[in-house]
Amino acid sequence: MISIFYRQGAEIIVSQHETEFASISKNDVLWIDLLSPTGDEKRATEAFLGTEIQSRAQAEEIESSSRFSESETAIFANTNFLSPAGDEMAEDAVSFTIVGNTIATLREIPLRSFTSLQRRIQARPAQYEDGWTIFTSIMDQRIDLDADIIELLDKETTQFSKRINQKEDINEDFLLDINQLQENAMMVRENIVDKQRLISGLIKSDRYPDRLDGKFSVLLQDISSLINHTNFTFERLEYLQDTAVGLINLDQNRIMKIFTVISVLLMPATFVASFYGMNVKLPLDGFSYAWLILLGVMTLILLTALWIFHKKQML
């Protein structure tokens, strides 16, 4: 699907047909949004802009050198947008192509930041001068959503902390859940750092409009704050993980202590029973109440051992 946002007088019109390119001036087009485009839509956009639009494989490239690049006619920028997918985070590749004052975006799935921006563009057309303004608005929306994701991670981290304080059952699943939160926090941090690198690359470009210095500075400040917040969240998760492992070790030590104490308590009685279980002639042999005497001796030994353990606070 293609959405072409172009200015007509004081209004911004949206067209969803690539055939409209023939009747639109390039200077009037602000934004060309390609959502899972067909081959005809992509080729028509490339012909209109006079440059090739990066493919999805190029947009998903992970090397830092491919995140931002320039040609004689265009700027190419790639990044990933995160979205919660159950307990994990899903990455959706987005490619930006800036030619003059026109921006083209390529994505494969609907994104909330794009949808909300499209509504605002038509509601307040005067606020959006060109494609650079569209780009800063997309980044601003995305950073706000990343902040919401970090807040969600904070809430989940707080819930795990409460579970530890309330001495709930801490087991393997508990540790795996914390580990998944750590993975999510690392993905969020990497994604935010990726946007920081992308914006820094744009600022260094000769095509970058100086009038946007204020907006880009605010974006970089917001990103720095999110990185610090994410680092703090990750440190909290590491602390919770260490605490959970420590509590599990204490429970295991307590169990081993119980088994050890029981073994030591039964050792004297076991020795007596084993001694009189030998097939040789022993004292009290043939005495009809010998078992009572032996049972009393074993009980006395057991009680004496219990008293010694209790006195030394080993129980």
Same domain, 292 and 226: no
Confidence of residue 62 (pLDDT cuts 50, 70, 90): very low
Domain around 290: 251-311
What's the pLDDT band for 155 if we cut at 50, 70, 90?
confident
Confidence at residue 233, expressed as pLDDT on a 0 to 100 scale: 83
The tens digit of pLDDT for each residue in 192-250 reads: 888 888 888 888 888 888 888 888 888 888 888 888 888 888 888 888 778 777 777 77
SS3 (DSSP) at 12? strand
Confidence of residue 59 (pLDDT cuts 50, 70, 90): low
Say if residue 137 is in the same domain as residue 270.
no
Q: What's the domain count of the chain?
A: 2
Confidence of residue 55 (pLDDT cuts 50, 70, 90): low
d(CA 18, CA 305): 91
**What's 33's domain CATH number?**
3.30.460.20
Same domain, 197 and 231: yes
Nearest residue to 226 via CA among 298, 125, 143: 143
Residue 49 — pLDDT band, cuts 50, 70, 90?
confident
Let me know whether 179 and 269 are in one domain: no
Q: Determine how many CB atoms are found less than 10 A away from the CB of residue 263.
A: 10
SS3 154: helix
> Is 186 found in the same domain as 110?
yes
In 3D space, the residue among 6, 68, 50, 69 whose CA is nearest the CA of residue 32 turns out to be 6
Query: Could you say which of 208, 230, 249 is where a domain stops?
Result: 249
Report the chain's mean pLDDT, rounded to a whole number.
79
Last residue of a domain, one of 249, 266, 282: 249
Q: Is the pLDDT of residue 295 over 80?
A: no
Choose the final residue of a domain: 207, 228, 249.
249
pTM for the whole structure: 0.74
Q: What angle do CA 99, 102, 105 make, to 5 degrees?
A: 90
Share of the chain above pLDDT 90, in %: 0
pLDDT at 282 over 70: no
